[in-house]
């Protein structure tokens, strides 16, 4: 399956991307530009993130920022930042509730 076939396959899914940083920026751009609705989650505030937060919000991304950014991860697919271990208790809870936990690297280099 190509990247764009994968993106087409997830357009109807509830998608979250955890971590708005260098590692997830290409993924965020591709998903939004290909019509995937995404929720971006980051521990930092929009002010701390700066230009990328404003740009992605203007592109239509929902933002979940601040201290409780991982609470209630009710999504079908969750892309995690490399700095967040897949063994994080809140990610494990989301997985137990049916979420697929993946990463930008798994999608781009699968």
The domain locations on the chain are 3-71+99-108
Look at residue 106 in the predicted model and tell me its pLDDT. 86
Greatest CA separation for the chain: 38
| pTM beyond 0.95 | no
Residue 61: phi and psi, rounded to 5, are -70, 140
Report pLDDT digits (tens) over 42-100. 999 999 999 999 999 999 999 999 999 999 999 999 999 999 998 999 999 999 999 99
Look at residue 110 in the predicted model and tell me its pLDDT. 62
Report the top-level CATH class of 3-71+99-108: alpha beta
Residue 16: how many other CB atoms lie within 10 Å: 22
* CB contact at 8 A, 15 and 37: yes
Residue of 19, 26, 22, 68 lying closest to 40 (CA atoms): 19
Helix ranges (H only) for the chain are 3-10, 25-33, 46-49, 51-58, 89-96, 104-108
């Amino acid at each position: 399956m190509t990247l764009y076939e994968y993106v087409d396959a997830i357009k109807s899914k509830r998608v979250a991307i955890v971590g708005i940083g260098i590692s997830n920026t290409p993924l965020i751009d591709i998903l939004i530009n290909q019509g995937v609705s995404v929720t971006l989650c980051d521990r930092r505030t929009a002010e701390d993130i700066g230009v990328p937060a404003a740009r992605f919000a203007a592109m239509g991304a929902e933002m979940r920022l601040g201290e409780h950014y991982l609470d209630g991860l009710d999504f079908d697919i969750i892309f995690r930042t490399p700095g967040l271990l897949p063994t994080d208790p809140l990610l494990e809870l989301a997985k137990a509730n049916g979420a697929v936990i993946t990463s930008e690297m798994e999608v781009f280099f699968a």
